[in-house]
C-alpha cells in the first residue's frame, strides 16, 4: 500500500479539525474539532510505525498514549465547559469575553451582567 | 490498486466525509453521531495498517467512552436537538481559508516527500495485544506509569471542577 494513502487522509482530517476549532461557536463542538486533529495524528503514528517496522512499536504505543491523554483532556475540558454553562447559561465561545481587553468587550460584559441580574430579580 | 488499497481509500473517504459533516452540520447531536462514523472508519484504517490492538482501543475508548461523554455534555448544556441557526462564528471564511491552506500545504509537502514510498504489509508484524503489550511493558514502562499519574491528576481535577461550590466553598 502506498504510504501516501494514510498520510493524505490524516492531513485532510487535521485540516477539517482546524476548521472545526476555528469556526464552531459551541464549546463542545470545538472539542470535537480537537478530537479530529488528535485522531489525524494517531493515524500518522500508526502508518509510520507499520512503514518503519519499529521493533519497539513506538508508533502504536504512542497512539495509545495519545488516546489516553485525549481522554484526560476531554474529561477536564468538558468539566470546564459545564462550569461555564452553570455560571453563564450558555457555552457560546463568541460571547465569553471576560478575558478580553477591549472596550467593546467591557460593554458586552456589562450588558450581559445587567440582563442576567434583571432576569434573576424577576424570578424572585 | 490492490484490494487493501481500495478498502483503505473507501474507509478514508468515509472518515473524511463524515468529519466534514461533524464540523458543518447544524444539528449539534448529529455532529457527535457523525464523529462515531469518523472514529469507526479510522479504527478500520488501523486494522488495515496491522495495528489490531490500537483499533480495538480506538473502538472502546473513542467510539465508546469519548462520544458518550460528548453526548452527555451536549445534553447537560441543553443543546437543542433541532437544526439551529448560527452554529458557526462570524470568522467562518477566515477559518475555511486557513483550513484549506493547511490542507494544501500538508498534502503538497507529503506528496513531494513520499510519492512512491510503499508500506509492505505482507510480512508486517501484526500489532496484536501480545506484541503491543510486550512493547508497552518492556520499553515503555516509565511513560506508561507517568501516564497513569496524569490520568489520576485529570480525574481529581475534573471532580474538583465539576463539584458544586454552592454547598461549601472550602
- Model pLDDT, residue B170: 46
How large a percentage of chain B has pLDDT more than 90? 66
CB pairs < 8 Å spanning A and B: 249
Give me the pLDDT at residue B88, please: 82
Query: CATH for B3-82+92-163?
Result: 1.20.120.1200
Task: Please give the average per-residue pLDDT across A116-121, as a whole number.
Answer: 57
CA distances for B133 relative to B98, B139, B141, angstroms: 40, 10, 10
Instruction: Give the CA distances from residue B5 to residues B42, B112, B120, B162, in Å, rounded to whole numbers and listed in that order.
Output: 14, 20, 12, 46
pLDDT in tens, B148-164: 999 999 999 999 988 86
Cell numbers for A49: 510505525
**A 32-91 residues inside an 8 A Cβ radius of B:** 32-33, 35-36, 39, 42-43, 46-47, 49-51, 53, 56-58, 60-61, 63-65, 67-76, 78-83, 85, 91
Given a cut of 90, whether residue B13 has pLDDT beyond it is: yes
Q: Supply the pLDDT for residue A123.
A: 44
The answer to whether residue B111 scores a pLDDT higher than 80 is yes
Interface test with A, best of B55, B63, B73 (most A CBs within 10 A): B73
Residue spans per domain, chain A: 4-98
Beta strands in chain A (DSSP E): none
The pLDDT of residue A122 is 44
The closest alpha carbon to B51, from A63, A28, A99, A29, belongs to: A63
**Interchain proximity B135–A56, CB inside 8 Å:** yes
Choice between B27 and B79, residue whose per-residue pLDDT is larger: B27
* Cα–Cα distance measured from residue B87 to residue B71, given in angstroms and rounded to the nearest whole number: 17
- Give the CATH fold of the A4-98 domain: Helix Hairpins (1.10.287)
Report the run of H or E that residue A62 belongs to, with start and end.
Answer: helix A58-88
| Mean pLDDT calculated for residue range B40-63 | 94
- Give residue-wise pLDDT tens across range A55-95: 888 999 999 999 999 999 999 999 999 999 988 888 888 88
> What percentage of chain A has pLDDT greater than the value 90?
58
Interface predicted TM-score (ipTM):
0.90
Q: Which residue has the higher pLDDT, B140 or B81?
A: B140
Whole-model pTM over 0.90? no
Pick the range with the lowest mean pLDDT from A20-29, A76-85, B58-67, B114-123. B114-123
Amino acid at each position: 500500500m502506498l504510504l501516501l494513502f494514510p498520510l493524505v487522509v490524516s492531513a485532510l482530517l487535521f485540516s477539517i479539525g482546524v476548521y472545526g476549532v476555528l469556526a464552531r461557536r459551541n464549546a463542545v463542538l470545538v472539542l470535537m474539532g480537537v478530537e479530529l486533529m488528535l485522531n489525524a495524528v494517531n493515524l500518522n503514528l500508526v502508518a509510520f510505525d507499520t512503514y518503519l517496522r519499529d521493533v519497539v512499536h513506538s508508533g502504536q504505543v504512542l497512539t495509545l498514549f495519545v488516546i489516553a491523554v485525549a481522554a484526560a483532556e476531554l474529561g477536564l475540558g468538558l468539566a470546564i465547559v459545564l462550569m461555564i454553562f452553570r455560571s453563564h447559561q450558555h457555552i457560546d465561545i463568541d460571547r465569553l469575553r471576560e478575558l478580553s481587553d477591549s472596550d467593546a468587550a467591557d460593554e458586552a460584559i456589562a450588558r450581559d451582567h445587567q440582563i442576567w441580574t434583571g432576569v434573576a430579580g424577576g424570578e424572585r | 490498486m490492490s484490494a487493501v488499497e481500495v478498502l483503505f481509500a473507501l474507509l478514508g473517504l468515509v472518515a473524511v466525509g463524515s468529519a466534514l459533516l461533524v464540523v458543518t452540520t447544524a444539528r449539534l447531536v448529529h455532529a457527535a453521531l457523525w464523529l462515531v462514523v469518523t472514529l469507526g472508519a479510522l479504527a478500520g484504517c488501523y486494522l488495515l495498517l496491522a495495528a489490531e490492538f490500537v483499533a480495538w482501543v480506538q473502538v472502546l475508548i473513542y467510539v465508546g467512552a469519548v462520544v458518550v461523554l460528548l453526548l452527555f455534555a451536549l445534553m447537560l448544556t441543553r443543546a437543542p436537538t433541532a437544526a439551529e441557526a448560527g452554529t458557526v462564528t462570524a470568522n467562518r471564511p477566515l477559518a475555511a481559508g486557513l483550513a484549506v491552506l493547511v490542507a494544501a500545504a500538508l498534502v503538497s509537502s507529503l506528496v513531494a516527500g513520499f510519492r512512491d514510498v510503499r508500506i509492505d504489509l505482507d510480512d508486517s508484524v501484526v500489532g496484536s495485544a501480545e506484541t503491543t503489550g510486550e512493547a508497552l511493558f518492556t520499553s515503555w514502562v516509565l511513560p506508561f506509569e507517568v501516564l497513569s499519574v496524569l490520568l489520576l491528576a485529570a480525574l481529581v481535577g475534573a471532580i474538583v471542577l465539576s463539584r458544586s461550590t454552592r454547598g461549601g466553598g472550602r
